[in-house]
Amino acid sequence: MPQGFKYNRLVKDDAACLLVDHQSGLISLVQDFSPGEFKNNVLALAACAQYFKLPTILTTSFEAGPNGPLVPELRPMFPDAPYIARPGNINAWDNEDFVNAVKQTGRKQLIIAGVVTEVCVAFPALSAIEAGYDVFVVTDASGTFNEVTRHAAWARMAAAGVQLMNWFGVACELHRDWRNDIEGLGALFSNYIPNYRNLITSYEARK
Amino acid sequence: MPQGFKYNRLVKDDAACLLVDHQSGLISLVQDFSPGEFKNNVLALAACAQYFKLPTILTTSFEAGPNGPLVPELRPMFPDAPYIARPGNINAWDNEDFVNAVKQTGRKQLIIAGVVTEVCVAFPALSAIEAGYDVFVVTDASGTFNEVTRHAAWARMAAAGVQLMNWFGVACELHRDWRNDIEGLGALFSNYIPNYRNLITSYEARK
Amino acid sequence: MPQGFKYNRLVKDDAACLLVDHQSGLISLVQDFSPGEFKNNVLALAACAQYFKLPTILTTSFEAGPNGPLVPELRPMFPDAPYIARPGNINAWDNEDFVNAVKQTGRKQLIIAGVVTEVCVAFPALSAIEAGYDVFVVTDASGTFNEVTRHAAWARMAAAGVQLMNWFGVACELHRDWRNDIEGLGALFSNYIPNYRNLITSYEARK
Amino acid sequence: MPQGFKYNRLVKDDAACLLVDHQSGLISLVQDFSPGEFKNNVLALAACAQYFKLPTILTTSFEAGPNGPLVPELRPMFPDAPYIARPGNINAWDNEDFVNAVKQTGRKQLIIAGVVTEVCVAFPALSAIEAGYDVFVVTDASGTFNEVTRHAAWARMAAAGVQLMNWFGVACELHRDWRNDIEGLGALFSNYIPNYRNLITSYEARK
Amino acid sequence: MPQGFKYNRLVKDDAACLLVDHQSGLISLVQDFSPGEFKNNVLALAACAQYFKLPTILTTSFEAGPNGPLVPELRPMFPDAPYIARPGNINAWDNEDFVNAVKQTGRKQLIIAGVVTEVCVAFPALSAIEAGYDVFVVTDASGTFNEVTRHAAWARMAAAGVQLMNWFGVACELHRDWRNDIEGLGALFSNYIPNYRNLITSYEARK
Amino acid sequence: MPQGFKYNRLVKDDAACLLVDHQSGLISLVQDFSPGEFKNNVLALAACAQYFKLPTILTTSFEAGPNGPLVPELRPMFPDAPYIARPGNINAWDNEDFVNAVKQTGRKQLIIAGVVTEVCVAFPALSAIEAGYDVFVVTDASGTFNEVTRHAAWARMAAAGVQLMNWFGVACELHRDWRNDIEGLGALFSNYIPNYRNLITSYEARK
Amino acid sequence: MPQGFKYNRLVKDDAACLLVDHQSGLISLVQDFSPGEFKNNVLALAACAQYFKLPTILTTSFEAGPNGPLVPELRPMFPDAPYIARPGNINAWDNEDFVNAVKQTGRKQLIIAGVVTEVCVAFPALSAIEAGYDVFVVTDASGTFNEVTRHAAWARMAAAGVQLMNWFGVACELHRDWRNDIEGLGALFSNYIPNYRNLITSYEARK
Amino acid sequence: MPQGFKYNRLVKDDAACLLVDHQSGLISLVQDFSPGEFKNNVLALAACAQYFKLPTILTTSFEAGPNGPLVPELRPMFPDAPYIARPGNINAWDNEDFVNAVKQTGRKQLIIAGVVTEVCVAFPALSAIEAGYDVFVVTDASGTFNEVTRHAAWARMAAAGVQLMNWFGVACELHRDWRNDIEGLGALFSNYIPNYRNLITSYEARK
């Protein structure tokens, strides 16, 4: 056990969200989630970023080519977010504009998700750790070819100190206490967790 | 091979849609689909019924109890549909109002989906076959406890002559020809098939 | 589609339940269900037989040997049931006492479950069909070595006209209408379907 | 058991091959095979059609839209094959040119594969059965969204008398006897079955 | 349900066993069983044939080539069995010597297993049904490339009236009654079912 | 390998058990165990805590809302246990009462299980490690949405020094020696491990 | 990456083999391997210990009770091995005789396998690490209830510095060079790896 | 988290590629990938090595025996590569010629893939780490008997500091920037990622 372990937990005012290469072409490569689950998870993470008002950065890789444009739902959710259409760098962290945008958030905790996990997520995650950031990868909003490539990517990132999360864990760790806003968090869960919506439906019916 | 096989295909003007017991409590029993996939499939089927203007019947089982109310999305999609809140009959076909509602559609082809597959779907499906209807069960908008119970239910229904479909097959068989309405069908697919939406996004970007 | 299909559904007054070889040794061979699921399903089916007062027959194969005795829960549930400890017949239907016990129930519908599916269930099921009975095999209260042997057994039985059910379907088809006894059926479900009990717990909390 | 069963087996001089909608966009919807397996199976089936000189028909659905063009490997393999770019009919059999092309082959046995299974394959398969053809669907060169939609599609087709095959079975049934051409069949297997190529490699090394 | 169903069960004096193409090369193509399970199942079936003294026929396809020789365990178990090394016929039933060997057994029930399921098993199974035999395919002693090809092969055979069995079911159906030979059957199970051997070990320890 | 590794094993007199948010609503979100398995595991862990007389703390999150009340089996098992109904803190460790209750146990080893794994378990587990406790998470009595979220949660906790256990391992590590109480431990296993009960049944039958 | 990593590899003259609780009753609890695979792996590991003449220790837990005796194959393979029938200690390392037997081997590398993984293997493995031994757990000769309990046990052991191996890796690491004994190693592989036997069969046929 | 983490990423001019024992016999042992996927991955990795002009070393184990020769595709891709046919060393690193060939590349980063993962890959990987190299194992171009042996091998290697990659990640990390050669990288992906080829096909059709 690491001595003197410090629970480095997500803090609303110290976290930024990086959405990397959620492009219409690249997403068709993802096969470790069903397409419906994956879309839901990506939009749920985006909704968290929006709800918690996290500085958010959008970036794409070579979007004029077969990789395709950013999925159309994301941009309108973050109209003021930096949008870095990388002309060629595969690792977003190799792009100066991207790194500058990250710096300008002034945040130390980076929540990262993207497509595909072992490249578009793992590369900037490892670079960011090296640069001294705390990195939280949202595993269920990051997709890849299959479970083998996913597990290898996770192992590489975990070995570097990346914290592996899911969007629901991110939301809960940021929110801290239901009393901060019961309705807002309930709406978030209701929109992206069908069984939670069912709980609410049953609950409301009997109040 | 059945001699003189007749391809009994869905016809827009001869089909009705029966949505059985998609209730907030019962859906929490479904474990043969991920909750996200299942919700998507149910809403996609409902969207088909709406799009093709199929007479649609909604029914619930004991909705004042733990089974819970109908999921809130469905009723507003079919404001004029008969809504049969069965006070106790487990097999919807044992409920006179339900059978009458079916008769009043004047349709011979019944598209059925519900929760759980081996009860709320299979029972009325078998009753309807006996009553002389052609029955098309939408397997991916019908959920149950696990794959074992699903496969047993499918076998029982198939042996009775039920045709096993999925919502996408229903949509395509009803539509017949893209030229009937390219935009409408494209929108339907775009809303409920994330990878199809991706195809459209990439396509539109390059037109 | 079979012409003139007749929905042959379970009727409380015309059904008997045959529990075949649920013995402590044989059950250790079952690997197509987790042990916990399997035990729950078997006891749930037995509870249905008890609840609906179905004539029930218990039988074992060679119980003095490694196959082991009947699991201890079953006998006390049916203190007056015929109990046929077969000295050697593998197919219970080859045992005259067993067939006589079935005849003496006076029932035409036989609900069968046992271990292992392709032998202790399939053999008497096929024999009973040949003898003119209607047979309903409870697939989730019947276990075998793996999914391959299960699927082959199902195919053989289905081809003979056996109806493949699960215990929940059996309960619902026998009960017909919640109003016959809401509390009784609710208790049955609460005892053997954890998520149903959860629904009831949540429901009761808010009444 | 069907009385007087007649083994209706594929005959080189009586079979035609229909490749339906193997388009670059539609294939991205396929998730019941890994992309690599699926591509291999489709090309293997095409290689069989070529090798056995089966009359082959290529068809696409709405190829100017998001469905995308036929995958580039197929057309050059069948330079003289009828190529029906359907302007809108979802069921290829609804397209007169397609049906005429089938008729002009003069064959009674139709080998069909395509994307997606429950629509582009099942619809023309059922239509062709109705029209009196013998239909052999190549299951592993036909893809769909997931295993649920695949199994439902298979059940529907099997109930109509469609014979479910895989490309390897098609090749073996058409070839009949290794002595007809050892080298040719060996090359076919070597190209599309990596483990068969390994067997040949080991074998050649020791001859 | 088939009217007047007749339970066509295996009879020791009316059954023969056909082991088709269990060759060292071909078996390396099998991936729908783990290699250890598959070897165990094939040897278990062979041990049944031996134990019940079933006339048994061994055949191989092109054994001088990459398909390789028969696995070495089988021939010594049946030193007097006809051994048909087919020079080229893929379907064993196309080989006159093989069919004659079957005829000379004088048996009407054919138990068939082999590699690969959809070819070396399905082809002679379908031919034998056509020729008027009763066919029992031993699914777990027959292997193929993956589960998709297995399920398609099963569906094709089941539609023709083939009965799908596993080796354990074959043994039990042939034996009928433990009292015919407790020790013999116990030894058979002990050798090929590790958990059954464990039951016996525990049992013997406490006698 | 960590130098000077110290096997930090569970000690009956130094361990406490924290059961976090096993509520009727939240449990319906769990899909990485079958409902029956999960219920069994939670009750088995509770039975261990009871059997070993571990100080136990029950806590719930927002139980008046859709999350629902604690499942009814748990409270009666620990009538004197502190019961902290948290009004809003998502991480139980953020609740002063909860932390005080933990402190008052005077134990250094914390056995934690709950729903959902990545939040209700991982958050307090990480906080407790930071606070200097030894933490043992009972993985099979902790549930979440799916295997992806589970694995990510495990990785995060393991990186912090949490020991991942299952309830059976907890029981065995606490008990140390069968001779401390053969009957008691045997009863515990018999109640929650069906195959262990089968062993006992067979054993008793032959004593 | 650990600085100055030292590849601690198995050395024939420094390794001992500990087979823990492979008892007929306990093995019936194992469900994370098929029974056939598991038996094969255990016997393969034992054959390695025998072949490489490793000092081997056999131990059992409470073998007079339901746990059952050691499986009968193991003892005759190691007639001179210490055999410690533990009267009650669950962790074999808590038994003085066992630890003494280990010490008397004079070896520093301990190869451990047993049933169940998280208890009978993990407990002595962690104790042995603490005692300064190098521990190599043979994962595929160690079984448990399911994959969840397996993964948790692996994580706990790996965190302590245990090296996770399989029997084939053990054999290869001990053997070092085929030239030490081609025939012997070949025979070992042929006996326990069916596909390796197939390679040899094909190879021998063509020499 | 490791303090002062340094992202050790692949650099075109500092990496070499070691392809270990991709032999026709050994590959038939691989069952943790479908044969088609595995072949594709191995050839894709080889194509990367070729494309990025990495010094590459080919080696085989006992290729005159049942292990069989190197698969025929590899050698022609690297006509000038050192080719070490090891006469007996199981761990390639035990072979002086091999180690010398590695040294002569002058590279510090070793990309390793081979068959089987836990032996032919893990052994030289661990040796190379010990010798001071940076090791990147290409998990999807390395195969073994099943997922259990794979996971154990990964855990052992990761604990030693090996970085787990897949071929696609290797390609992307080496390439750095699409602008270095769009067409070349696109062709590589198009050849080995069918869905990427589909993206390109759709894209080209609309340019």
- For testing contact with chain A, the best of H7, H34, H121 (most A CBs within 10 A): H7
Count of other CB atoms within 10 angstroms of residue B154: 24
Residue G2 lies in a domain: no
Contact H152 G173 (CB under 8 A): no
pLDDT on residue B139:
98
Which backbone phi and psi does H136 adopt, to 5 degrees?
-125, 110
Q: Which of B24, B32, B16 is nearest to B64 (CA)?
A: B24
Residue B101 has pLDDT above 80, yes or no: yes
pLDDT on residue B2:
52
Give me A34's structure tokens.
Answer: 């069903």
Residues of chain E above pLDDT 70, percent: 99
DSSP per residue, H91-151: SGGG-HHHHHHHHHHT-SEEEEEEBSIIIIIHHHHHHHHHTT-EEEEEGGG-B-SSHHHHH
Q: Are B100 and B1 in contact (CB under 8 A)?
A: no
Burial class (CB in 10 A: 0-12, 13-18, 19+), B183: exposed
Residues on chain B touching A205 (C-beta within 8 angstroms): 24, 68-69
Answer whether 0.90 is exceeded by the pTM.
yes
A107 to chain H, closest Cα gap in Å = 19
Q: Are E162 and E111 in contact (CB under 8 A)?
A: no
C189 to chain E, closest Cα gap in Å = 31
Q: Are G161 and G2 in contact (CB under 8 A)?
A: no
F145 to chain B, closest Cα gap in Å = 9
F150 to chain C, closest Cα gap in Å = 20
Residues C201 and C117 in one domain: no
pLDDT in tens, G62-103: 999 999 999 999 999 999 999 999 999 999 999 999 999 999
F192 to chain G, closest Cα gap in Å = 12
Q: Could you tell me which residues of chain E have a Cβ less than 8 Å from any Cβ in chain H?
A: 28, 31, 34-35, 146
pLDDT on residue D1:
45
E strand or H helix that includes residue G182: helix G182-192
Residue A2 has pLDDT above 60, yes or no: no
Contact B36 A71 (CB under 8 A): no
* Strand, helix or coil for residue C107: coil
pLDDT in tens, E92-126: 999 999 999 999 999 999 999 999 999 999 999 99
User: 């939040």: which residue's tokens?
Assistant: F119
Average pLDDT, chain E: 96
Contact F169 G159 (CB under 8 A): no
The CA distance from A188 to A168, in Å, is 10
Q: Are C135 and C128 in contact (CB under 8 A)?
A: yes
pLDDT in tens, E163-189: 999 999 999 999 999 999 999 999 999
Which among C1, C169, C202 is the nearest to B119, CB-wise? C169
Contact G154 H156 (CB under 8 A): no
Nearest residue of F to residue A171, measured between CA atoms = F119
pLDDT on residue A207:
73
**Domain CATH code at residue B59:** 3.40.50.850
G111 to chain C, closest Cα gap in Å = 29
Residues D127 and D171 in one domain: yes
pLDDT on residue E3:
64
HEC readout, B21-81: CCEHHHHCCCCCCCHHHHHHHHHHHHHHHHHCCCCEEEEEECCCCCCCCECCCHHHHCCCC
The CA distance from G129 to G112, in Å, is 12
Residues on chain A touching B66 (C-beta within 8 angstroms): 202
Residues on chain F touching C27 (C-beta within 8 angstroms): 194-195, 198
Q: Are G52 and G12 in contact (CB under 8 A)?
A: yes
Whole-angstrom CA distances from G137 to G129, G164, H164 are: 11, 5, 22
Nearest residue of A to residue H193, measured between CA atoms = A29
Contact F34 B35 (CB under 8 A): no
Residues C106 and C199 in one domain: no
Longest dimension (CA), chain C: 56
pLDDT on residue A1:
45
Which entry of C17, C48, C120, C172 is annotated as an active-site residue? C120
Residue G68 lies in a domain: yes
Cα A207–chain centre separation: 35
Residue B4 has pLDDT above 90, yes or no: no
Residues on chain H touching A66 (C-beta within 8 angstroms): 186, 196, 199-200, 202-203
Q: Could you tell me which residues of chain B have a Cβ less than 8 Å from any Cβ in chain C?
A: 8, 25, 28-29, 61-62, 65-68, 87-91, 94, 116, 118-119, 122-123, 126-127, 129-130, 145, 148-149, 151-153, 155-156, 159-161
Residues B63 and B102 in one domain: yes
Residue F10 lies in a domain: no
Q: Are E29 and E118 in contact (CB under 8 A)?
A: no
A4 vs D177, residue with greater confidence:
D177
Residues on chain G touching C31 (C-beta within 8 angstroms): 31, 34-35
pLDDT on residue D79:
97
Residue E53 lies in a domain: yes
**Which residue range(s) make up the domain with E205?**
179-207
pLDDT on residue B1:
45
- For testing contact with chain E, the best of H27, H29, H30, H31 (most E CBs within 10 A): H31
Burial class (CB in 10 A: 0-12, 13-18, 19+), C79: exposed
pLDDT on residue C207:
73
Residues on chain F touching G63 (C-beta within 8 angstroms): none
Kindly calculate the radius of gyration of chain A based on its CA atoms and give it in whole angstroms: 17
Nearest residue of A to residue H161, measured between CA atoms = A159
Contact D1 E149 (CB under 8 A): no
Residue G108 lies in a domain: yes
Residues D137 and D204 in one domain: no
Residues A78 and A138 in one domain: yes
- Complex ipTM tops 0.85: yes
Residues A197 and A164 in one domain: no
Q: Which of G97, G147, G96, G158 is nearest to G125 (CA)?
A: G158
HEC readout, chain F: CCCCCCCCCCCHHHEEEEEECCEHHHHCCCCCCCHHHHHHHHHHHHHHHHHCCCCEEEEEECCCCCCCCECCCHHHHCCCCCEEEECCECCHHHCHHHHHHHHHHCCCEEEEEEECHHHHHHHHHHHHHHCCCEEEEEHHHCECCCHHHHHHHHHHHHHCCCEEECHHHHHHHHHCEHHHCHHHHHHHHHHHCHHHHHHHHHHHHHC
The CA distance from C25 to F92, in Å, is 45
To the query of whether residue B48 is one of the catalytic residues in this protein, the response is no
Residues of chain H with pLDDT under 50: 1
Which among E163, E176, E203 is the nearest to C156, CB-wise? E163
One digit per residue, the tens of pLDDT, for chain F of length 207 reads 456 899 999 999 999 999 999 999 999 999 999 999 999 999 999 999 999 999 999 999 999 999 999 999 999 999 999 999 999 999 999 999 999 999 999 999 999 999 999 999 999 999 999 999 999 999 999 999 999 999 999 999 999 999 999 999 999 999 999 999 999 999 999 999 999 999 999 999 987
The CA distance from A76 to A83, in Å, is 12
Residues E142 and E167 in one domain: yes
User: 């691989």: which residue's tokens?
Assistant: H30
G187 to chain F, closest Cα gap in Å = 35
Residue D8 lies in a domain: no
Give me C2's structure tokens.
Answer: 């079979």
Which backbone phi and psi does A110 adopt, to 5 degrees?
-110, 120
* Strand, helix or coil for residue C163: strand
Nearest residue of H to residue B198, measured between CA atoms = H199
Q: Are E79 and D161 in contact (CB under 8 A)?
A: no
Residues A172 and A195 in one domain: no
Beta-bridged to residue F80, according to DSSP, are none
Which chains touch E (3+ CB pairs under 8 A)?
C, D, F, G, H
Residues on chain D touching H202 (C-beta within 8 angstroms): 24-25, 66, 68-69
Between A and F, how many CB-CB pairs are < 8 A? Answer: 105
| Residue spans of alpha helices (H) in chain E | 24-27, 35-51, 74-77, 96-105, 122-130, 147-159, 167-175, 182-192, 194-206
Stretch E22-27: mean pLDDT = 97
Q: Are D150 and D144 in contact (CB under 8 A)?
A: yes
Which backbone phi and psi does G66 adopt, to 5 degrees?
-65, -20
Residues of chain B above pLDDT 70, percent: 99
Residues 6 or more apart whose Cβ sits within 8 Å of residue G207 = D206
Residues on chain E touching H146 (C-beta within 8 angstroms): 34
How many structural domains compose chain F? 2
* Strand, helix or coil for residue D155: helix
Contact E34 H34 (CB under 8 A): no
One digit per residue, the tens of pLDDT, for chain D of length 207 reads 456 899 999 999 999 999 999 999 999 999 999 999 999 999 999 999 999 999 999 999 999 999 999 999 999 999 999 999 999 999 999 999 999 999 999 999 999 999 999 999 999 999 999 999 999 999 999 999 999 999 999 999 999 999 999 999 999 999 999 999 999 999 999 999 999 999 999 999 987
Which among G66, G91, G152 is the nearest to F203, CB-wise? G66
Which amino acids of H are annotated catalytic?
A: 120
Residues B89 and B168 in one domain: yes
Residues H50 and H98 in one domain: yes
Using 50, 70 and 90 to split pLDDT, how confident is the model at B3? low
Contact G31 C35 (CB under 8 A): yes
Residues A32 and A123 in one domain: yes
E strand or H helix that includes residue D203: helix D194-206
Contact C34 G34 (CB under 8 A): no
Nearest residue of H to residue D30, measured between CA atoms = H195
Residues on chain H touching G168 (C-beta within 8 angstroms): 116, 118-119, 145, 149
Q: Which of F83, F16, F21, F18 is nearest to F55 (CA)?
A: F16
Residue E2 has pLDDT above 60, yes or no: no
- For testing contact with chain F, the best of C167, C196, C201 (most F CBs within 10 A): C201
Residue E9 lies in a domain: no
Q: Which of E179, E199, E180, E197 is nearest to E188 (CA)?
A: E197
Nearest residue of B to residue F146, measured between CA atoms = B34
Residues on chain B touching H198 (C-beta within 8 angstroms): none
pLDDT in tens, A122-180: 999 999 999 999 999 999 999 999 999 999 999 999 999 999 999 999 999 999 999 99
Q: Does chain E reach chain G with at least 3 CB pairs under 8 Å?
A: yes
Residue C130 lies in a domain: yes
Handedness of CA A37, A40, A45, A46 (dihedral sign): positive
User: 């985006």: which residue's tokens?
Assistant: A46
H16 to chain D, closest Cα gap in Å = 27
Residues on chain E touching F206 (C-beta within 8 angstroms): 203, 206-207
